[in-house]
Structure 1
Amino acid sequence: MAKQPMLKFVSVDRDMPEKRDANVRREDFHEIYAEYADQKAAEQASRCSQCGVPYCQSHCPLHNNIPDWLRLTAEGRLQEAYEISQATNTFPEICGRICPQDRLCEGNCVIEQSGHGTVTIGAVEKYITDTAWENGWVQPIKPAKERAESVGIIGAGPGGLAAADVLRRAGVQVTVYDRYDRSGGLLTYGIPGFKLEKDVVMRRNEQLAKGGARFVLNCDVGRTMAFEDIRAQHDAVIIATGVYKSRDLGGPGAGADGIVKAIDYLTASNRKSFGDEVPEFDSGELNAEGKRVVVIGGGDTAMDCVRTAIRQGAVSVKCLYRRDRANMPGSQREVQNAEEEGVQFEWLTAPKGFRGDPVEAVIVQKMRLGPPDATGRQAPEIIEGSDYDEPADLVIKALGFEPEDLPALWGQPELEVTRWGTVKAEFTTGRTALPGVYAVGDIVRGASLVVWAIRDGRDCAEALLADLNATTAVAAE
C-alpha cells in the first residue's frame, strides 16, 4: 500500500522559503524570498489536511483548486499541478508573489485555525509555475480555431490581460490598448521588483503577444486616441483602466516641492530598474537617496514606498498612519519586512500641514481611536495640542487611488458611473450601460487586489464569449 503523502501537518512544521538577510536585501531590488527546492516544496505541500470543506479555496477570489495542486506537488506530479493551477488563474506565479495570502487563502487554512501553522500556499504556488516556465510547460496560446470577432481592451493591467488570455484561447481577435510603453499596468510600473521582478511580468506579456494578442502602447485614450474610434474597430470593448488618480492631501504647505505622489515615485523607480532615462529621478525629485523620507498612508502602496526608499539610500524612512497596527489595511507580512529593513512606523499619527518650500518638515498631529465608523472600524480622533514637527526632505503621499472621470475624459456622458466615479457594470459579466462595452477590475470595484482584477477579467471574458456566441446564433437563423 502506498504511503500517505498528505496530512503531515502534525509532524512537519510550517517552513517558508528562506528570506534574504535584511542588511543584504535592502541594498538591491531583487525578490527577498528564495525559491523552494523540490524536496522542500513537496514537504510543505504535504502538510495540507485535504479537508472536506477547503476554506483556502473558498476564500481565494479565483477559487483556485488549492488542495488538488498541493497534493500533486507532494506526489511530485508538478506538470499536472501547474495545469490545475493555470486552469483557474491566469497568472499563478504573480499571485504567488504578491497576493496577501495572510488575509486570503493562508489566513483561512484549517490547520492554521487548529494551531499548527498554515500551509505555505503562496510559496508553493510560485514554485509550481516557476518550475513550469523552467521546464517549458508554459506554451504560447494556440486556439483550436480562430474567430472573426474582435475585442478591444483598454488597459494592460492584470484585469485586461486576464480577459485577453481567455479570449485568445477561444480564438477571438484581441487588441490591448495602454497608455504606457510597456504592458502590465501596476504589475510593471507600480509594484517594486523586490516583490515582483519584472522579467516575471514581461514573459507573460510575451506569451500573450506570441499567442496572437496585439498591443497598442503609448495610447492614452481620450487624448491620443478617441474611445469612439476604438469602439468602431471592434465588436466589443472591455474597459480595464484601473484607478490612477491619487487621493490628495490638504493643509498648509501641501503644494510645496518635495511632496510627491506614490504612483509617480514608484513608476520612476521601476523605470530606472528597466534602464530608462528618468530625469525626475536623476534630478533627485523622485529619488530618496540621502533624504529624510516620510510616507503618509497605511496600505500596500505605502509599504512599497517605504521599502523602495530604504533601497534608494534614504537617511531615514518613517511611515505615518492614522490608526494603529492592528487596523492598518496593508499586509502585516509587509510591515514586518519593512521593519526588518529599517523603516520606522509612527502609529496613530496624521499630517496637519507642512513647513518649508521645498518641504522641511511635516506637522504631525497625534490621534486616538474612537467609536467605530460606518465601516465598523474605529474612527481616528485628533488629540488636541499634541502636534509636533517631523523633519522631512521628501514626503510621499500614499493615500490610495480614485477613478479618473472617464465619461468626461472620453467624451462619453452615456457611460454610467457610481457616486464614487467607478464605472457601473453588472456583477460577474461586466456589462455596462453602453451596448457592447464591458468593464472590469478597479475601475468597477475601486482600488483592490490584483487577484480580484484577474477574477473580473476572466469572468467578463466568459460572459462576452457567451454574448458573441448568442449573436452568432441569431445571425445564423
Structure 2
Amino acid sequence: MLRFVDTPRSTPEKRAADLRKEDFEEIYKGFQERQAEAQASRCSQCGVPFCSSGCPLGNHIPDWLRLAADGDLREAYELSASTSSMPEVCGRICPQDRLCEGSCVIEQSGHGTVTIGAVEQYITDNAWKEGWIGPIKPRRERTETIGIIGAGPAGLSAADMLRHLGYQVTIYDRYDRAGGLLIYGIPGFKLEKDVVARRVQRLKDSGVTFLQNQDIGGTVPFAELRKKHDAVLIATGVYKARELPVPGAGGHGVVRALDYLTASNRKGLGDDVPAFDDGSLNARGKRVVVIGGGDTAMDCVRTAIRQDAVSVTCVYRRDKDNMPGSAREVQNAEEEGVAFRWLSNPKLVLGDAESLQGVRVAKMRLGPPDISGRQTPEEVPGQEVDLEADLVIKALGFSPEDLPAAFGEPDLRLTRHGTIKADPRSFQTSLPGVFAAGDIVRGASLVVWAIHDGRKAAAGIHDYISARSAAADVMTVGKQQPSYDPRAYEPVTP
C-alpha cells in the first residue's frame, strides 16, 4: 500500500472518440488484474477514510482496496458486496469525482485520487467471471411476504436484502423488463444491459417473483397489494418530466428526454419502436438541441451523436463549473463532438405545429447566490441568438407523480415537493406497513442513493415485521397462560 508516491494515477483505457461514436458499447475497457492491483495499492489507508464517508453506502473502500492490492479478490468482493447490492453498477455510473474519489486524501497532496470506481467495477466483474456470485440462500425461510412496486435500483436492492433475510418477495413493475432507468434511461455506452440483466436473473434464481406490465393503482388496486402482503415498499421512482416554460415548447419536434432515451434503448434491445423508425424520436440527420445540464442531458447528447445527428448542442443556463452533471460525462461529450452553450437559456421555440425551426436563447450571467448557495442565473438584456434545430430534447429533470390519487390512498402523506413523506430512519410512510424508498422519497437523484434507500427500507421492513411478530407472541403467551397479567408486557409499537 501507500504506493501513490511512485505509482501514478491511471484510469481504464478509453476507446477513441471516433470509434466509440459508432456504437452503444461501453467506452471504458476496464482494468486488467495487474492494473487493478497497482491502482488499489496507491491507497494511503487513512486513519479516517473520507472516501467511505463520501460514499452514500458507506462502502469499506480502504479495506477492499487493500485486499485487491494483495490479490485477495474473492474476499475483496465479499466485503464490497456487504454494503452494496450492485457494486459493478456503481463502479460504472456513479459520479466518483463528486463522491468517494472527490473525498480521497491523496488528491489533496497533488498525487491524484485513487481510481476507486474502476477498481470497484473490476472486483465485481471478476467475481461474476469466476462464478463467485450465486443465488441468495437465506439461513431460514420466513412465511411473511413483501410486495415491492418498482424494479429500479431501489426496488432491486430492497429485494436483495429482504431475500437474504428469508422473506418471500414479489416485485411489481410497470414495464416489460425489470431494471427501471438502468434499462430504459441510461444508455449502453455507460451501462450495458447485460450487467443489469444478470442482477435481475440472480434475484429470480433466488426466489424473487417478478410481475411485469403491472398497472398498480389501475388494473391492480393498491389496496389489493396491502391485503396480500405483510408489507409493501413503494419504489416507483419519479418519471413526470418537467416542462420547458416558453412559447412553442409543445410544438412539433420538441420531445421529452426520457421518451427519447427509452426509444433508443428499446431499439438497442431489439424492440419494435415506431416512433424511432418514423424519425420522431431519432436524431439521425438532424440538428439537435438538448436543454439541460444534468446527467440525463449528457445521456441525450451522447446518444444523438451515436445516431448520426448532423450537429448536437447542449444549452445550459449556468456555466460549466456550476453544471450538476458529472464532469467526466461532460468531457466525454466534448470529445465526441458535442457543442456546449454555457450561460444560455431558452426564450422561444421557433416553428409551428408542422415544423420546427430552432430555439431562441438569451445570454445569462450569474448573480447573487440563492437559498441553496448556488448563484442565480440572470438574463443579460438584448443579447439573444437563434439556434437552428430539427429536434429539441427537454432534459430539465423529473417530478413525482400524484401517487395518493393514483393509488386511491388520500392518507398517503406527501412533502411540499410532492414526494412521499417517509420516516428518515425506517422509511415507513403515513400508512402502516407501507414503506417508500428511492427517488419517490428524495426526488430525482443518483442511482447510488436509490440503492442506499432500498437497503435501508428493507431494514425498516424487517424491524416492522419483527416488532409485529413479537407483539403477536406476547398476545399468544397471554392467552395460553391467563395467570400472567397482560399489563406486565410492554406495548410494542410497529
Q: Does the alignment reach a TM-score above 0.5? A: yes
Deviations 1:224-256 (A, max 9, x none): 211111111101000000000000012221111
- CA drift of 1:23 comes to 0.3
Structure 2: gaps of 5 or more residues: 475-494
Matched-pair contact (CA < 8 Å) for 2:148–2:235 = yes
State yes or no: 1:231 paired with 2:226. yes
Q: Which residue of 2 aligns with 1:3?
A: none
State yes or no: 1:393 paired with 2:390. yes
1:350-369 to 2 correspondence within 5 Å?
350-357=345-352, 358-369=355-366
Structure 1: gaps of 5 or more residues: 1-5
Distance in 2 (CA, whole Å) between partners of 1:35 and 1:452 is: 24
State yes or no: 1:109 paired with 2:104. yes
Amino acid at match of 2:371: A
Deviations 1:353-372 (A, max 9, x none): 11113211101111111111
Amino acid at match of 2:78: E
1:175-254 to 2 correspondence within 5 Å?
175-254=170-249
Helix, strand or coil at the partner of 1:396: strand
Helix, strand or coil at the partner of 1:360: strand
Helix, strand or coil at the partner of 1:93: helix
1:30 counterpart (25, 40, 56): 25
Deviations 1:268-303 (A, max 9, x none): 011011000000100100000000000000000000
- CA drift of 1:374 comes to 1.3
- CA drift of 1:429 comes to 1.3
- CA drift of 1:259 comes to 0.2
Matched-pair contact (CA < 8 Å) for 1:111–1:117 = yes
Runs of 4+ in 1 over 6 A off after TM superposition: none
Amino acid at match of 1:175: T
State yes or no: 1:337 paired with 2:337. no
State yes or no: 1:441 paired with 2:451. no
Q: Which residue of 2 aligns with 1:467?
A: 464
Deviations 1:133-159 (A, max 9, x none): 000000111112110001100011000
1:123-142 to 2 correspondence within 5 Å?
123-142=118-137
1:6-405 to 2 correspondence within 5 Å?
6-357=1-352, 358-405=355-402
- CA drift of 1:438 comes to 0.4
Matched-pair contact (CA < 8 Å) for 1:250–1:353 = no
Deviations 1:381-402 (A, max 9, x none): 0111111110000000000000
TM-score normalised by structure 1 residue count: 0.98
Distance in 1 (CA, whole Å) between partners of 2:465 and 2:245 is: 48
Q: Which residue of 2 aligns with 1:452?
A: 449
Q: Which residue of 1 aligns with 2:489?
A: none
Amino acid at match of 1:375: S
Amino acid at match of 1:376: G
Helix, strand or coil at the partner of 1:418: coil
Amino acid at match of 1:14: R
Helix, strand or coil at the partner of 2:250: coil
Amino acid at match of 1:82: Y
Matched-pair contact (CA < 8 Å) for 1:428–1:456 = no
Q: Which residue of 2 aligns with 1:417?
A: 414
Q: Which residue of 1 aligns with 2:484?
A: none
Distance in 1 (CA, whole Å) between partners of 2:6 and 2:381 is: 54
Distance in 2 (CA, whole Å) between partners of 1:33 and 1:103 is: 19
Distance in 2 (CA, whole Å) between partners of 1:252 and 1:166 is: 48
**Percent of pairs with identical residues:** 66
Helix, strand or coil at the partner of 2:75: helix
Deviations 1:432-452 (A, max 9, x none): 110100000110000111101
Helix, strand or coil at the partner of 1:386: strand
Amino acid at match of 1:12: T
- CA drift of 1:81 comes to 0.4
Matched-pair contact (CA < 8 Å) for 1:321–1:347 = yes
Helix, strand or coil at the partner of 1:95: helix
Which entry has the higher C-alpha Rg, 1 or 2?
Answer: 2
Amino acid at match of 1:471: R
Matched-pair contact (CA < 8 Å) for 2:433–2:464 = no
Matched-pair contact (CA < 8 Å) for 1:293–1:314 = yes
- CA drift of 1:428 comes to 2.7
Amino acid at match of 1:379: T
Measured on the aligned residues, the alpha-carbon RMSD in Å equals: 0.7
Distance in 2 (CA, whole Å) between partners of 1:253 and 1:468 is: 52
Amino acid at match of 2:214: C
TM-score normalised by structure 2 residue count: 0.95
Helix, strand or coil at the partner of 1:62: coil
Deviations 1:60-105 (A, max 9, x none): 0000000010000000000000000000000000000000000000
Amino acid at match of 2:143: A
- CA drift of 1:132 comes to 0.2
Matched-pair contact (CA < 8 Å) for 1:416–1:424 = yes
Amino acid at match of 1:48: C
Amino acid at match of 1:447: A
State the aligned residue count. Answer: 472
Matched-pair contact (CA < 8 Å) for 1:57–1:66 = yes
State yes or no: 1:432 paired with 2:429. yes
Q: Which residue of 1 aligns with 2:485?
A: none
Matched-pair contact (CA < 8 Å) for 1:424–1:444 = yes
Matched-pair contact (CA < 8 Å) for 2:57–2:448 = yes
Amino acid at match of 1:208: L
Deviations 1:292-337 (A, max 9, x none): 0000000000000000000000000000000000001000010000
Distance in 1 (CA, whole Å) between partners of 2:467 and 2:367 is: 54
